[in-house]
Amino acid sequence: MRYGMGAVIALLVVALAVCAGLSRKSKRSMAPSVAKLIGALVMPVTGNLIIILSSDRTLSVLGYFIYFLGMNLVMFTMLGFTFRYCHMPRPPRGMKALAYALLIADAAQLLCNPIFRHAFDIEAIQVAGAAYYRLIPYAGQTFHRIVCYGIFLAIVGIFFWKMITAPRLYLERYAVIFLSMVVVGIWETFYIFSRSPIDRSMIGFACFGLLVYYFAVHYKPVRLLDRMLANVASQMLQGVFFFDAGGRCVWVNRAGRETFHIDRDNYEPSAELLAGIFGDISGEEWVRHEAIMDGSVRKYYQLEKHSIQDSRGRTAGAFLSIVDETERHLAAEKDRYDATHDSLTGLYSREYLYERIRETIDANLDRAYMICFLDINDFKMVNDVFGREFGDYALKSVADSLRRDMGPDYLYGRLSGDAFGMCIPKESFNPEIAVATLSQFTVRRGETEYRLIIHQGVYEVVERDMDISGMFDRANMALESIKDEYNLHVAVYDSAMRERALWDQRIARELPEAIRTGQVRPYLQPIVDDRGRVVGAEALARWIHPAEGFLAPYRFIPTLEKNGMIAQVDRHIWRCACEILSGWKDNDLFISINVSPKDFYFMDVVKELTGLVREYAVEPSRLRLEITETVMMTDEAKRIEILKALREAGFIVEMDDFGSGYSSLNMLKDMPVDVVKIDMAFLRKTQDDVRARTILSSIMQMTNNLKLAQITEGVETAEQFANLRDMGCGMFQGYYFAKPMAVADFMKLLDGSRALA
Ligand code: C2E
Ligand code: MG
Ligand code: MG
């Protein structure tokens, strides 16, 4: 019996040593503390083995020492193991220190036993026919038991606490260790109180060590995993349905039950119910999307079915997951709508309109289409004057009217701020209706009422492969040609417009070089007095183009007026005029230069001109400035100041083209000028000579009364010259005297008689 027991314990020592070794090799995070605990267990169990087998007193004493000190070591390592196993990363500091202090004190007092004999002694008894040394405990031994029991009970307490507080899923993990500790504890207690000579409880401790090894290092918590997976499945937001091999539904998670109103006590009707909603759900592996009506709401689902195979590859069942995609679908739909529609007006955005037009044109090759570009004139002004809110309202009104008037196969959208685009089948396009709508577009909001001026450029889709943006560019080109017109609303693109646009681009590109090389230069047209003698000249720009030849101003000036580059031409012509004047030492002729209204945007006209006359030492009164009334259209007060400053600097300011504009008389009232330059061109078309003469003589009289000098330009006949002279006009310019000519020709003319009439 005694030796049989010894053999069992010896086996356990070997087993523990092996497990300690295996734990050291394991990569699990728990392994090091497990290795220490099991390694420590080897010591008391070995001690116990020695006690059981020894018949020698000294050997037995050694056995008891190894046993007791070993128990201290076991408690020490068990504390470390417990903290790790129970995930207590920061065990209470005081508690840990107290436990370690007690263990060390206990070990120390045990080691003093040979001196004081206070802890234990042994006495020989007969067991199984041989001497066996039984323990006689003293106070020190009682202390040792209290320390070890105290720590042991604390550890059991920790496991118990974890067992009841951790999620149920982890119960098994703590319960096994807890229960085995309880068994070992009771066993040990039994030994102590039974006074049985041989301590069998070490078997319990060794088994406990092996259990710890198994659970902490080796054990794969299959049940735990199963339960975790079931938990995950039941908490998933999608519906999950499990079917057995026969296709019967065996389990439905919570989302599935709630969405499809399935009774948790009876899953069987689920398959039929789902088939009723989604159609056939048989088959093994598939994914599909379904849209179904739930009452009045449309709902979107993704269904995914997979079969489940057992370890031998046989179908054990299947599962179906059903994801409610309604929200995602609606969000995607909204994103798509936002991306394709303008947020203010709800019309198609430009990109989407282009896309739709492309599709439509490509899909209807036998149909002709018109591309229309609509633009609100001066919309910035509407915003500035009436406020952004009214501006937005106006844009919405235009959008509403488009929606109202458009036919079913029209496409339309908002191209940019105040521009709208349309694509209309040619047979439905009616310019008269367009004009009628556009010409009286009034926006009313509360007290405010404003008539929008809307222009429409139209391009007939002839080149179907062209980019849609190119088509709109052409429609826009047509629109640009009437942008400044108040009575014209619709313009249709023709190829001349394209030529014009290309020409405009070319001029802009080539101008700087042309100025630098003198291709652009002034021609001089003589101005004569009432006796026909030359008193001055007007400098008129000409472009002697290397490829296009001689270009009159109408070929390039309007373009440059539009893009602002006219200022470069003017600066150049003014400089040329000053240069010519500075060369005229022996006469007192003047040169009139043209000042474009655009110049005022691009330079400080006063500074520029005073700088030039100073540079060339020219008397400012010899450089006359021709300015049209349009200069007063914007920023009138400031312009008046500029003209005053120019006159104060000594320049003579002339109002050019008087009578040809809309409000010459009105302007004359405010514009500070010295000379009025009357344009005869505006009388040229009239048949009624008497009326023309009446008007001219009235102008002469009026300007005389205002103490303004007059020049009449466009004089073509001797008769005109005579009549104007009779009316009191002092200076004349026109083909009757001479056409504009190169500077050299003009000099030759001066060398002659100087009298041109
Ligand atoms: P403008 O300043 O009114 O110049 C007078 C125009 O009338 C010139 O046309 C001249 O050739 C033309 N003309 C003179 N006498 C007669 C005549 O008896 N009969 C007819 N039918 N026409 C006559 P041009 O040179 O073609 O210039 C046209 C316009 O171009 C000018 O009108 C002026 O506004 C502008 N322009 C010309 N050169 C310049 C320039 O250097 N700078 C600026 N800003 N504009 C210029
Ligand atoms: Mg002029
Ligand atoms: Mg003129």
Give the tens place of pLDDT for each residue, 652-671.
999 999 987 767 778 888 88
How many beta carbons lie within 10 A of that of residue 593, not counting itself? 26
Containing 628, the helix (H) or strand (E) segment is strand 623-628
pLDDT category, 604, cuts 50, 70, 90?
very high
Residue 715 pLDDT exceeds 90: yes
CA angle 429, 433, 439 (to 5 degrees): 130
Q: What's the CA gap between 634 and 378, in Å, rounded? A: 14
Ligand 2 centroid – CA 478 distance (Å): 29
| pLDDT average, residue stretch 29-47 | 92
Alpha carbon of 557 to ligand 1 centroid (Å): 10
Distance (Å) from CA 573 to ligand 3 centroid: 16
**CA 589, CA 528: separation in Å to the nearest integer?**
10
Position 174 confidence tier, pLDDT thresholds 50, 70, 90: confident
Residues of the chain with CATH 3.20.20.450: 513-752
CA atoms of 304 and 259, how far apart (whole Å): 16
Q: Does the beta carbon of 552 sit less than 6 angstroms from any atom of ligand 1? A: yes
What CATH number labels 236-330?
Answer: 3.30.450.20
Is the distance from the beta carbon of residue 532 to the nearest atom of ligand 1 less than 6 Å?
Answer: no
Q: Render 217-272 in DSSP notation, one character per residue.
A: II---HHHHHHHHHHHHHH-SSEEEEEETTS-EEEE-HHHHHHHT--TT--TTHHH
Q: Retrieve residue 487's tokens.
A: 């009575």
Location of structure tokens 């234990």: 120
Checking if the pLDDT of 596 tops 70, the result is yes
Separation between Cα atoms, residue 664 and residue 671, nearest integer Å: 10
Which of 184-188, 397-401, 545-549, 746-750 has the weakest average pLDDT?
184-188
Q: What is the pLDDT of residue 528?
A: 97
Reported confidence tier of residue 568, pLDDT bands at 50, 70, 90: very high
Residue nearest to atom 7 of ligand 1 (CA): 714
Q: Give per-residue pLDDT as tens, 177-187.
A: 899 899 888 88
Tokens standing for 286? 């598939």
The DSSP call for residue 651 is P
Closest CA to ligand 1's atom 5: 713
Q: What is the 3-state secondary structure (H, E, C) of 94-145?
A: HHHHHHHHHHHHHHHHHHCHHHHCCCEEEEEEEECCEEEEEEEECHHHHHHH
> Looking at the domain 341-493, which fold is it?
Alpha-Beta Plaits (3.30.70)
2-219: in CATH 2.40.10.220: no
609 lines ligand 1 (CB under 6 A): no
Stated as kind and residue range, the H or E segment containing 287 is strand 286-294
Q: What is the pLDDT of residue 224?
A: 67
Pick the ligand that lies closest to the CA of residue 570: 1
pLDDT tier at 586, thresholds 50, 70, 90: confident
Q: Kindly identify the ligand whose nearest atom is closest to the C-alpha of 679.
A: 3
Quickly count: other Cβ atoms within 10 Å of residue 487's Cβ.
Answer: 8
DSSP annotation of 408: T
**Most ligand 1 atoms within 8 A of CB, residue of 540, 602, 732 to mutate:** 540
Q: SS3 for 304-346, per residue? A: EEEEEECCCCCEEEEEEEEEECHHHHHHHHHHHHHHHECCCCC
Residues 589, 616: Cα–Cα separation, whole Å: 16
Q: How many CB atoms lie within 10 A of CB 25?
A: 9
Question: For 508-517, how does the pLDDT look when each residue is reduced to its tens digit (9 = 90+)?
Answer: 999 999 999 9
Q: Is the CB of 626 under 6 A from ligand 1?
A: yes
CA angle, 498 then 602 then 565, to 5°: 25
Residue ranges, CATH 1.20.1070.10, the chain: 2-219
Query: Who has greater pLDDT, 225 or 115?
Result: 115
| CB of 550 shorter than 6 A to ligand 1 | no
Architecture of domain 513-752: Alpha-Beta Barrel (3.20)
Q: Which of 559, 377, 560, 351 is nearest to 479 (CA)?
A: 377
- For residue 474, give the nearest of 460, 490, 454, 489 by alpha carbon: 460
C-alpha–C-alpha distance, residues 24 and 2, integer Å: 33
* Cβ(628) – ligand 1 distance below 6 Å: no
* Residues bordering ligand 2, an ion, CB closer than 5 Å: 594, 626, 656
513-542 burial string, b = 16+ CB within 10 Å, else e? ebbeeebbbbbbbbbbbeebebbbbbbbbb
Q: What is the pLDDT of residues 355-412, one digit of tens each?
A: 999 999 999 999 999 999 999 988 988 888 889 999 999 999 999 998 988 888 899 9
Q: What are the contacts of 516-521 at 24+ separation with CB within 8 A?
A: 519/543, 519/544, 519/545, 519/546, 520/569, 520/572, 520/573, 521/576, 521/743
Query: d(Cα 96, Cα 151) in Å, to the nearest integer?
Result: 10
Query: Residue 564 in contact with residue 618, Cβ under 8 Å?
Result: no
What does the longest C-alpha to C-alpha distance in the chain come to? Answer: 169
Residue 557 Cβ < 6 Å to ligand 1: yes
Please give the mean pLDDT across all residues of the chain: 90
Residue written as tokens 């109103």?
261
Q: What is the pLDDT of residue 91?
A: 66
Q: Where in the chain is the domain with CATH 3.30.70.270?
A: 341-493
Q: Which residue has the tokens 């989604």?
A: 278
Q: What is the pLDDT of residue 648?
A: 97
Instruction: Give the model's pLDDT for residue 384.
Output: 86
Q: Say which DSSP state 536 is in.
A: E
Which residue lies with its CA nearest to atom 41 of ligand 1?
Answer: 541
User: Burial, 94: exposed, middle or buried (Cβ in 10 Å; 0-12, 13-18, 19+)?
Assistant: exposed
Beta bridge partners of 550: 544
Taking CA atoms only, the protein residue closest to ligand 1 atom 30 is 553
In this predicted structure, the answer to whether residue 633 has a pLDDT above a threshold of 70 is yes
Q: Any idea which residue has 């007192």 for tokens?
A: 588
3 versus 539: the higher-pLDDT residue is 539
Does residue 661 line the site of ligand 1, with CB under 6 A?
A: no
Q: Are 551 and 572 in contact (CB under 8 A)?
A: no
pLDDT tops 70 at residue 685 = no
Sheet-wide strand order for 239-244: 249-252, 239-244, 315-324, 297-309, 286-294
Output the CA 540–ligand 1 centroid distance in Å: 6
User: Which pair of tokens denotes residue 699?
Assistant: 């102008």
Three-class secondary structure of residue 286 per DSSP: strand
Helix (H) / strand (E) element for 666: namely helix 664-670
> Which amino acid is residue 350, in one-letter code?
R
Mean pLDDT along residues 628-636 = 86
At 221 the pLDDT is 65
- DSSP label at residue 349: P
- Ligand 1: residue whose CA is nearest its atom 10: 740
Q: What pLDDT is attached to residue 226?
A: 76
Q: Rounded CA gap, 438 and 21, in Å?
A: 95
How far is Cα 420 from Cα 371, in angstroms, rounded to an integer? 11
Provide the β-strand partners of residue 624.
592, 652
Residue among 352, 343, 491 at smallest CA distance from 412: 352
Mutation pick for ligand 1 pocket among 562, 676, 713, 732 (CB with most ligand atoms within 8 Å):
713
Closest by CA to 651, choosing from 627, 625, 631, is 625
* Cα R_g (the chain), whole angstroms: 55
Ligand 2 center to 561 CA (angstroms): 14
Average pLDDT over residues 420-433: 90
CB of 318 closer than 6 A to ligand 1?
no
Closest-lying ligand 1 atom to the alpha carbon of residue 599: 44
What average pLDDT score do residues 710-731 get?
Answer: 93
pLDDT at 437: 77
Q: Which of 594, 602, 625, 711 to mutate to test the pocket of ligand 1 (most atoms within 8 A of CB)?
A: 594
Residue 552 Cα to ligand 1 midpoint, Å, equals 9
d(CA 755, CA 721): 14
Ligand nearest to the CA of 677: 3
CA distances from 388 to 17, 339, 383, 442, 755 (A): 88, 24, 5, 17, 63
CA nearest ligand 1 atom 43, residue: 594
Please check the confidence at residue 752 and state whether its pLDDT lies above 80.
no
What is the mean pLDDT of the segment spanning 707-733? 94
Task: Express each pLDDT in 61-91 by its tens digit.
Answer: 999 999 999 999 999 999 989 988 888 766 6
Question: Could you say which DSSP state residue 216 is in?
Answer: I
Secondary structure of residue 622 in the 3-state scheme:
helix
Q: For residues 657 and 667, give the distance between their C-alpha atoms in angstroms, rounded to a whole number.
A: 12
- Cβ(654) – ligand 1 distance below 6 Å: no
